[in-house]
Amino acid sequence: MKKQLTLHQAKQQVESLLGQKVSVRLNKGRNKIVNCKGVVTKVYDNVFELQIPTEITGRLTCSYADVVCREVVIKLCR
């Protein structure tokens, strides 16, 4: 059984990736899963922002609750 993340742990995890290139897996529901690469640019109290060069708007905002629920999975690119 996997250990559950808390919101505080999720925020610390994202803060440690600030300014680094990451791969992101987004679960948008109904079997819609999007994989992309970007950079964590800003970290706020409840959300964080990713700069994604392939998207039309160029950025994506996610909440830490999405990370806890595994709707958003972030991994450091090597």
pLDDT digits over 23-33, tens only?
Answer: 999 998 888 99
Predicted TM-score (pTM) of the model is 0.84
Q: Which residues contact 34 (CB under 8 A, 6 or more apart)?
A: 25, 26, 28
Range of the domain at 67: 7-76
Residue 56 in this model has a pLDDT that exceeds 90: no
Q: How many CB atoms lie within 10 A of CB 27?
A: 15
Our measurement of the distance from residue 32's CA atom to the centroid of its chain's CA atoms, rounded to an integer in Å, reads 16
| Domain annotation covers residue 69 | yes
Nearest residue to 74 via CA among 28, 42, 29, 26? 26
| Domain annotation covers residue 2 | no
User: Over the chain, what is the mean pLDDT?
Assistant: 90
Q: What is the pLDDT of residue 37?
A: 92
CATH number at residue 35: 2.30.30.100
Structurally, the chain folds into a number of domains equal to: 1
Residue 37 near residue 77, CB atoms below 8 Å: yes
